[in-house]
Amino acid sequence: MDERTLFGLLVDLHREGTRQGPGSDEETVRALELARLDEAAEIQVADIGCGTGAPTLTLARNLPRARIAALDLFPEFLHVLAERARAAGFSRRIGAVAGSMGSLPFPIGSLDLLWSEGAIYNLGFSRGVETWRPFLRPGGVLAVSEITWLRPDPPDEIRRYWNAEYPEIATAPEKIGILERAGYDLLGYRVLPSSNWLENYYEPTEQLIPAFLERHAGRPEALRVVEMQRHEADLYVRYAAWFSYGFYVARRR
């Protein structure tokens, strides 16, 4: 299947989801605590790969004076985000930005906080933390969640899957080393619990599948997308002890 068809179907499947990847309001708040920001300050925040904005809204609730630029490649997600922001009364503080995480449209040194949940893999962790760094002011904070091995010796099946899907998967000490070499000091690290994968992501996504298949009746590509989604969920259920998202919070030197 060509990339355009795949992305179109993925956006259509996930558009109605509360979130487009594993996570939770609780873990967003905990990561924010690790960032040790002055909550009363008028800070500039960017949420990169924001999807329909689950983390964006949590940030807006917990940083009452922040201005947040919510950036995603897909306008369909941003339309949902803008509506959610309006309904929550945050229209003036959350701005939706259609763009690519590989070429951020912000002034250099302008961000106090650069947030990204379940999205940096699209650029790759090393490349992401390097190319995003100049957009933070010195002392500004980066908070990203990233696929991480919880133990160094995963079984063959899951090792092969991730090495094909995302060869940059590594253990937390390796990821932290990359951050330190790229010019950040670690403020904290947390592992997302399995409820953030199952109850908050795979189970709600499964609920969206029947209507998705109806919208795309007779299209083998849609069946393939469902197969991929279910395969990923099944691997998670069987190998949850071996990998998760690690949440890395680090300060730009």
Q: Which stretch binds ligand SAH (CB under 6 A): 17-25, 31-39, 61-69, 245-253?
A: 17-25
CB of 23 or CB of 154, closer to ligand SAH? 23
Copy the structure tokens of residue 28.
């967003």
237, two tokens:
């259920």
Note whether 146 and 248 are within 8 A (CB).
yes
| Bridge-based pairing state of the strands 44-48 and 67-72 | parallel
Q: How many of the chain's residues bind ligand SAH (CB under 6 A)?
A: 20
The residue from 20, 148, 205, 244 that contacts ligand SAH (CB under 6 A) is 20
195: contact with ligand SAH by CB under 6 A: no
- Shortest Å, Cβ 100 to ligand SAH: 4
Stretch that binds ligand SAH, among 29-37, 46-54, 192-200, 216-224 (CB under 6 A): 46-54
3-state secondary structure labels for all residues of 166-206: CCCCEEHHHHHHHHHHCCEEEEEEEECCCHHHHHHHHHHHH
Q: Does 50 bind ligand SAH (CB under 6 A)?
A: yes
- Compute CA 167 distance to the chain's CA centroid, rounded to the nearest angstrom: 18
For tokens 């609920």, the residue is 207
Q: Is 100 in the site for ligand SAH (CB under 6 A)?
A: yes
* Residue 246 in contact with ligand SAH, rule: CB under 6 A: no
Among 19, 133, 216, 251, binds ligand SAH (CB under 6 A): 19
Task: Confirm or reject binding of residue 229 to ligand SAH (CB under 6 A).
Answer: no
Tokens of 61: 């609730």
Rounded to 5 degrees, what are φ and ψ at 116? -160, 110
Residues that bind ligand SAH in the complex, under the rule CB under 6 A: 19-21, 23, 49-51, 54-55, 72-74, 77, 100-102, 117-119, 122
